[in-house]
Amino acid sequence: MNEFKFYNVGEGLFYRGSLNNHAFEFVYDCGSEIKYSHETIDNILRNDFIPKRNLDLLVISHLHKDHTNGIQQLIVYTGKPKKIILPYYYISSNNLFLKGFLFISGYDNDESQTILKSIFNNSDIWRRDEGNKYDNNNEYEFRVTNNHFFEDWDFVLLNKSISSAIAQQIEKDISKLIVNVKIEDYINKNPDKALKELTKIYKGYIKDLNISSTIMIHWPKYECFETSVLTGDAYFDKEIERKILDNICCYGYCFSHCRCRPITYFQVPHHGAEKNFSSISGTFIRKINNFYISFGFGNKYRHPCCNVVYRISSQKGSKIHFAYNSDEPFFDDDTYIIK
């Protein structure tokens, strides 16, 4: 039996897959911005996860808090994941890039230390250069890795990541800013100023940190349904669409022409924000059977955007599912059926 679930964590994302009767367990993102996120995630872990059953794979789409602030809880409960995938892991000896990124994403020094520890503590971190194929464009690198984590299932990771050259430049600028003190001390001294200055550095090189979100696609090998596309907070453009379609092509295994495979489950990117979704083509949308939007009621970002909901709800035969939550833990899944 294979099970997949988007948990109701509200503004955030927490997705779990369990293949062949728990033989392969993986999680894609674990975080939430709602008030009772700690309790909500705790309940989910107790109900659905086996204590100390180390995850085979943990994929972190990007480091924003609403996708990562449950990771420590998850790792305490399940033990160290066997493999962790980060969207960019320009890992330097002092990790300035990651620490600065976590700080501007809302983590304080202690939280950022905890999360870095939980991520780096002995798990196998996948490095960018382990990918088997690169497509370079001017600013970012695309990573496409067709790796068999688990026999009978294919996993593909796609992302427009922040190149090491840019990450190194950001680290250099941060070093100049903090002069000879530790980044933690610089932040502690004047957090407001630190936030302003560090944000300025990152924004100077990267317009929106969501761009680097790792997209994960998984499907049973040799079968033409049950394809899931997880998007984190990624932006869509023609190139990403093409990459996804190329990857889910079954090359005749289903005795049909290429690109015939539907997308059975699709996580609407960035909690239904319009700018991440607006360039998705009608052709792509028509391939999708089930849309999932993970958002929190009354969130300050006004997710999901009604234009996004309108566009996907005019898609005949598809269903929209909301993995939501207000400040009350545990709503049940809600399903809208579109005739």
Q: Using CB under 5 A as the criterion, which residues of the chain lie in contact with Zn ion when the complex forms?
A: 64, 66, 210, 233
64/243 with CB nearer Zn ion = 64
Q: What is the DSSP string of 120-149?
A: HSSSEEEPGGG-S-EEE-SSEEEEEEEEEE
Q: 9 or 96, CB closer to Zn ion?
A: 9
Could you identify the residue written with the tokens 């049973």? Answer: 220
Min. distance of Cβ 317 from Zn ion in angstroms?
A: 28
Instruction: State both tokens at 61.
Output: 């789409």
Closest CB to Zn ion among 210 and 227?
Answer: 210
In the complex, the smallest distance separating the C-beta of residue 143 from Zn ion, rounded to whole angstroms, is 18
- Report helix, strand or coil for 314: coil
Which CB sits closer to Zn ion, 74 or 250? 74
In the complex, minimum distance from the CB of residue 214 to Zn ion, in angstroms, rounded to a whole number: 12
Question: Based on CB atoms, which residue is closest to Zn ion, 171 or 233?
Answer: 233
Nearer to Zn ion, 66 or 154 (CB): 66
Q: How far apart are CA 278 and CA 308, in angstroms?
A: 8
- 214 in Cβ contact with 85 (< 8 Å): yes
List the beta bridge partners of residue 15: 6, 28
Distances (CA, A) of 286 to 79, 88, 312, 335: 40, 31, 9, 19
Residue 221: closest CA among 140, 315, 149, 138 = 149
Q: How far apart are CA 209 and CA 192, in angstroms?
A: 20
Nearest distance from residue 62's CB to Zn ion, in Å? 6
Task: Verify cis geometry, omega within 30 degrees of 0, for the bond prior to 81.
Answer: no
- The CA distances from residue 234 to 10, 114, 202, in Å, are 18, 25, 18
Please identify, using beta-carbon distances, which residue of 105 and 318 lies nearer to Zn ion. 105
Contact between 87 and 62 under an 8 Å Cβ cutoff? The reply is yes
At closest approach, how far in Å is the CB of 259 from Zn ion?
A: 29
CB of 13 to Zn ion, least distance (A): 6
Nearest-approach distance from CB 233 to Zn ion, in angstroms:
4
Is 149 or 301 the residue whose CB approaches Zn ion more closely? Answer: 301
Q: Which one, of 158, 155, 159, lies nearest residue 56 by Cα?
A: 155
Tell me how far, at minimum, the Cβ of 119 lies from Zn ion, in Å: 17
Asked whether 247 and 217 are in contact (CB, 8 A), the reply is yes
